[in-house]
């Protein structure tokens, strides 16, 4: 484990990746009946100079998710600045101070179209060889979350999260696990006290193609469920330049 703190998006990243985002589409997507479809392209340039990298992302049709971003990583700080690729962009800034073992950070977004602060998040994390724990305050102070992530065995991970929404006075506990069935196939599942259950299988083909099949069901609303299939392609064009393209496809069932 290196001593650098990483970036704000790394706070709680392990638990977030295991417990959320099984069947996901951007707020605006192509829709035909039960079918939802979107496209995204991500290009990254690593180590432009020491500690400096850049990323370029295009999302169709939701262009407010399309953005250009610059990151700088120092021994005790990580800074990210970015803007959406629209006429009136959303400007993002985040920073983290500390080390890889313990750090604290914040992230803000300003919507230049409305001329107001659209996001303010804060978080802190504690990381050891066996456990990563994080506490975050998101959605403009509405959501307080505490999460932990651990890999007790090789190829196996578990995560838990407790979330409280102040405006709705709602508390949800979520737990999940992940296991590598083979070197190229990974299975994960999560369940929450809100009735949400999700599962996904991810398979890597030819080291550059990733196929994911996921399903989501809320046992408190049995009339609706979701199934998603996504395919992404990753290719390292040059030593410090890589590009990936993803096609998330989802189906919503309602009775």
Per-residue pLDDT of the chain (255 residues; tens, 9 = 90+): 568 899 999 999 999 999 998 988 888 888 877 788 899 899 999 888 888 999 999 998 888 888 999 999 999 999 999 999 988 899 999 999 999 999 999 999 999 988 899 999 999 999 999 999 999 999 999 999 999 999 999 999 999 999 999 999 999 999 999 999 999 999 999 999 999 999 999 999 887 899 999 999 988 876 678 889 898 888 776 677 888 888 888 887 655
pLDDT of 32? 78
Residue 33's region, left for phi above 0, alpha for psi from -120 to 50, else beta, is left
pLDDT of 222? 66
Nearest to 10, CA basis, from 105, 82, 128: 105
- Is residue 251 within 8 Å of 34, Cβ to Cβ? yes
Helix (H) or strand (E) holding 55: strand 52-60
Cα separation, 94 vs 142, whole angstroms: 19
The DSSP code for 222 is T
DSSP helix, strand, coil percent of the chain (3-state; round to 5): 5, 65, 30
| Helix runs in 92-231, H state only | none
Name 33's Cβ contacts closer than 8 Å, sequence gap at least 6: none
**Domain extent listing, the chain:** 6-252
Q: Is the peptide bond before 61 cis (omega within 30 degrees of 0)?
A: yes
Environment class of residue 136 by beta-carbon count within 10 Å: exposed (0-12), middle (13-18) or buried (19+)? buried
Name 164's Cβ contacts closer than 8 Å, sequence gap at least 6: 143, 144, 145, 170, 171, 172
What is the greatest pairwise CA distance in the chain?
55
pLDDT of 254? 58
Cα separation, 86 vs 213, whole angstroms: 32
β-strand pairing of 102-111 with 90-98: antiparallel
Q: Tokens 């504690």: give the residue.
A: 126
| 83 strand-pairing partners | 68, 91
Cα dihedral angle (79, 85, 89, 93), rounded to 10 degrees? -10
Helix (H) or strand (E) holding 160: strand 156-165
The domain 6-252 having CATH identifier 2.40.160.10: the answer here is: yes
Dihedrals phi, psi of 3, to nearest 5 degrees: -90, -10
């Amino acid at each position: 484990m290196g001593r650098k703190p990483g970036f704000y998006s790394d706070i709680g990243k392990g638990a977030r990746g295991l417990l959320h985002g099984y069947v996901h589409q951007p707020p605006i997507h192509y829709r035909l009946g039960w079918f939802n479809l979107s496209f995204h392209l991500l290009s990254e340039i690593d180590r432009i100079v020491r500690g400096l990298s850049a990323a370029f992302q295009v999302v169709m049709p939701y262009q407010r998710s399309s953005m250009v971003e610059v990151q700088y990583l120092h021994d005790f700080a990580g800074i990210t600045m970015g803007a959406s690729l629209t006429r009136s962009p959303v400007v993002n800034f985040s920073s983290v101070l500390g080390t890889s073992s313990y750090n604290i950070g914040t992230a803000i977004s300003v919507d230049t179209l409305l001329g107001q602060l659209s996001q303010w998040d804060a978080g802190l994390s504690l990381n050891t060889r066996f456990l990563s724990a994080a506490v975050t305050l998101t959605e403009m102070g509405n959501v307080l979350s505490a999460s932990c992530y651990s890999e007790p065995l090789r190829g196996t991970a578990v995560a838990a999260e407790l979330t409280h929404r102040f405006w709705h006075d709602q508390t949800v506990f979520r737990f999940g696990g992940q296991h590598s069935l083979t070197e190229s196939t990974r299975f994960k599942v999560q369940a929450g006290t809100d009735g949400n259950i999700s599962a996904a299988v991810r398979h890597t083909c030819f080291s550059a193609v990733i196929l994911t099949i996921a399903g989501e069901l809320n046992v408190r609303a049995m009339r609706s469920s979701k199934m998603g299939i996504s395919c992404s392609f990753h290719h390292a064009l040059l030593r410090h330049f890589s590009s990936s393209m993803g096609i998330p496809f989802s189906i919503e069932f309602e009775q």
